């Protein structure tokens, strides 16, 4: 079955190709088979059409960094108005009480919320594995399957507890043997290396202040043995700089290089506090950085140097980050935040709404090492989102793409992943939103009780 998504009000392809009159997708292969230029009709036969007039067509958004379990601790009073380190120290004991059903509910709700914002691919950094949660990624696989989008589930880890000079409480850390054995198990069981993969696994020690140097090295070796990507938090705050210098005698990027992580199979969350030389080295090595503007604003961490990173050859993606340092899971809103926060660092004519949309699509795809998603092009996966401009907030706007970002677009009218509709008319087609919310609310109350 081939479907022509026709007559969109505006189209963003993330590659400057002309798809002004829509795209044709093949439901059986889940791929895009034709871009239809402005004023033209498809050259190949199609079986059905979707009338996108009045809607904006974009690639499915890609969230390159998240912590889905944190949806359970949004706007948590004891953690409000704190810097990163004391914020973490407040929340770690709460997260240490996570149980399997809580993680399932948190993952399902977060993925559903992201889907409603036009997000079809989510990289989740699950970095806390207390004794009650020994099969966290397995639980997340089941939750992701129920929602229907794509996920890159990163097997996070913490091995350096408070008694060893780290931040996490001892109840949340694991031995290096436990971490490495489970990481290998998950790769063998779930990782799909092929084009069109719905589930991929990456390895993700939490940060320099929560894992040992040996674990960083061993994790890199294991990831390269199985050709999976590596991920961690780095250079998020100046406190992290001080920690690394005090503990390792090195700045964060120098430490990363010392453990074999300065390479093109690595993407970093935040990446705020790099100097000129470090940015140059990152570009030469082929690293990627996931910009997390809302989280960085809430925790007052700083502003990512996106233009300098991009100019140096560093791939820049976009991420919502955890819902406890964002209090939402909305990728379309994150695009707007990315534009606005960058206007505080750069001149108004140096960063545009199109740059922010690129970071959230093809930029994030590159950060995740994927060539098959993140853009509208023939042969790419049919992941896309459509947004209507029929709300009061858009009335009087003249440039549809600019309006989507500047006027605060936040809810997709329709979403497709791998050629299958997951949302139409702003309604979830296969999920009961109210049931998901009820289960999630109950889990949140149990967690903090």
SS (H, E, C) 282-345: HHHHCCEEEECHHHHHHCCCCCCCHHHHHHHCCEEEECCCCCCCCCCCCHHHHHHHHHHHHHHH
Q: What is the pLDDT of residue 166?
A: 78
- The angle at the Cα of 184, spanning 370 to 97, to the nearest 5 degrees, equals 95
Sole residue written with tokens 């990173």: 309
Q: How many CB atoms lie within 10 A of CB 33?
A: 19
pLDDT of residue 74: 97
Half-sphere exposure of 46 (CA within 13 A, CB side): 22
For residues 222-241, give the mean pLDDT.
96
Structural domains of the chain in order of their starting residue, each with its CATH number: 2-59+378-428 (2.30.40.10), 61-367 (3.20.20.140)
Q: What pLDDT, on the 0 to 100 scale, is given for residue 161?
A: 87
Q: Is the pLDDT of residue 162 over 90?
A: no
Give dist(CA 162, CA 33) in Å, integer.
54
| C-alpha angle 349-364-327 in degrees, rounded to nearest 5 | 85
Tell me what the mean pLDDT of segment 202-215 comes to: 93
Average pLDDT of the residues in 48-59:
98
Structural contact between residues 405 and 123, judged by C-beta atoms closer than 8 angstroms:
no
Q: Give yes or no for residue 108 having a pLDDT over 90.
A: yes
Angle at 209 between CA 136 and CA 345, to 5 degrees: 100
- Check pLDDT > 90 for residue 160: no
- Residue 169 is predicted with a pLDDT of 84
For position 208, what pLDDT does the model report?
Answer: 84
Length of the chain: 449
pLDDT class of 172 with cuts at 50, 70, 90: confident
| 400 three-class SS | helix
Nearest of 68, 90, 66 to residue 77 by alpha carbon? 90
pLDDT surpassing 90 at residue 229: yes
Least confident of 56-70, 169-183, 400-414: 169-183
What's the pLDDT score for residue 167? 79
What's the whole-number mean pLDDT along residues 134-139? 96
If DSSP codes are grouped into helix, strand and coil, which group holds residue 369? coil
Q: What is the pLDDT of residues 258-300, one digit of tens each?
A: 999 999 999 999 999 999 999 999 999 999 999 999 999 999 9
Alpha-carbon torsion (331, 333, 335, 340), positive or negative: negative
Nearest to 219 by CA among 200, 234, 232: 232
Give the pLDDT confidence of 352-405 residue by residue, as tens digits: 999 999 999 999 999 999 999 999 999 999 999 999 999 999 999 999 999 999
CB-CB neighbours of 380 under 10 Å: 24
Instruction: Please give the average per-residue pLDDT across 407-427, as a whole number.
Output: 98
User: Cα(133)–Cα(97) distance, rounded to whole angstroms?
Assistant: 9
Q: Which residue has the higher pLDDT, 35 or 44?
A: 35
**pLDDT category, 171, cuts 50, 70, 90?**
confident
Strand pairing partners for 10?
A: 56
Q: How confident is the model at residue 413 (pLDDT cuts 50, 70, 90)?
A: very high
What proportion of the chain, given as a percentage, has pLDDT over 90?
Answer: 93
Give the full edge-to-edge strand order of the sheet including 150-157: 61-66, 119-126, 150-157, 199-205, 230-234, 266-270, 288-291, 315-318
User: CA torsion angle for 386, 391, 393, 399 (degrees, to 10)?
Assistant: 50
* Residue 393 near residue 407, CB atoms below 8 Å: yes
């Amino acid at each position: 079955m081939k479907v022509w998504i026709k007559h969109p009000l505006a189209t963003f392809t993330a590659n400057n190709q002309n798809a002004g009159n829509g795209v044709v997708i093949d439901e059986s292969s889940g791929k895009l088979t034709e871009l239809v230029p402005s004023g033209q009709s498809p050259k190949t036969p199609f079986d059905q059409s979707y009338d996108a007039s009045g809607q904006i067509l974009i690639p499915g958004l890609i969230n390159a960094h998240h912590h889905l379990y944190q949806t359970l601790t949004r706007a948590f009073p004891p953690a409000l108005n704190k810097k990163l380190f004391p914020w973490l120290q407040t929340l770690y004991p709460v997260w240490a009480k996570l149980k399997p059903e809580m993680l399932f509910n948190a993952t399902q709700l977060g993925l559903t919320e992201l889907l409603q914002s036009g997000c079809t691919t989510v990289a989740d950094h699950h970095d806390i594995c207390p004794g009650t949660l020994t099969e966290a990624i397995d639980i997340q696989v089941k939750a992701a399957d129920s929602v229907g989008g794509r996920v890159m589930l990163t097997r996070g880890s913490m091995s350096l507890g408070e008694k060893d000079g780290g931040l996490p409480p001892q109840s949340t850390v694991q031995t290096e043997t436990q971490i490495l054995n489970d990481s290998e198990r998950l790769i063998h069981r779930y990782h799909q290396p092929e084009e069109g993969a719905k589930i991929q696994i990456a390895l993700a020690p939490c940060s320099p202040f929560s894992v040992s140097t040996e674990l960083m090295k061993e994790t890199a070796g294991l990831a390269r043995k199985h050709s999976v990507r590596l991920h961690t938090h780095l250079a998020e705050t100046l406190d992290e700089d001080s920690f690394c210098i005090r503990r390792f005698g090195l700045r964060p990027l120098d430490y990363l290089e010392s453990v074999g992580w300065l390479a093109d199979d690595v993407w970093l969350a935040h990446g705020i506090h790099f100097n000129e030389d470090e940015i140059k080295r990152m570009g030469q090595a082929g690293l990627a950085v996931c910009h997390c503007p809302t989280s960085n604003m809430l925790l007052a961490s700083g502003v990512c140097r996106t233009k300098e990173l991009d100019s140096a050859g560093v791939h820049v993606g976009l991420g919502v980050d955890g819902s406890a340092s964002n209090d939402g899971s909305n990728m379309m809103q994150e695009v707007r935040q990315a534009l606005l926060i960058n206007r505080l660092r750069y001149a108004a004519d140096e960063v545009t709404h199109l740059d922010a949309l690129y970071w959230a699509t093809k930029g994030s795809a590159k950060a995740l090492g994927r060539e098959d998603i993140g853009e509208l092009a023939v042969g790419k996966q049919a992941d896309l989102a459509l947004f209507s401009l029929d709300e009061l907030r858009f009335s009087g706007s003249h440039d549809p793409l600019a309006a989507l970002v500047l006027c605060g677009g936040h809810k997709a009218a329709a979403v497709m992943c791998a050629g299958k509709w997951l949302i139409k008319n702003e309604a979830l087609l296969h999920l009961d939103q109210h049931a998901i919310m009820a289960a999630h609310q109950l889990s949140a109350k149990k967690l903090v009780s």
